[in-house]
Amino acid sequence: MYQKLGRSTAMYVCVTIVGCKDLWNYTANVYGANTPTKVDRNQIVCMPIEIRNIQDDRQVREGIENCIRMTKYSLGIRK
């Protein structure tokens, strides 16, 4: 939306997951584990990702990919 409005050239994006303590994943190997996994905290805050120029589609795409990667790392997902 900011890209279409032309409001800014830089943007910082991060993901926060709240209310996730004690949730289980019962599908083995889906997160790189051989057994079901359980979230041990109530809030997961991912590192902010900088997109220097939101008018550049390549930078926006890379920023989205980096945000997804950091979210997975914060959840302990390696791939």
pLDDT at residue 61, as a whole number: 93
* Separation of alpha carbons 47 and 66, rounded Å: 10
The tens-digit pLDDT sequence of the chain (79 residues) is 766 776 678 888 888 888 878 877 666 555 555 667 777 778 888 888 898 888 888 999 999 898 888 887 777 666 6
**What's the chain's length in residues?**
79
Q: What is the pTM of this model?
A: 0.62
Beta strands in 15-74 (DSSP E): 16-18, 24-25, 37-38, 43-45, 49-51
* Separation of alpha carbons 54 and 11, rounded Å: 7
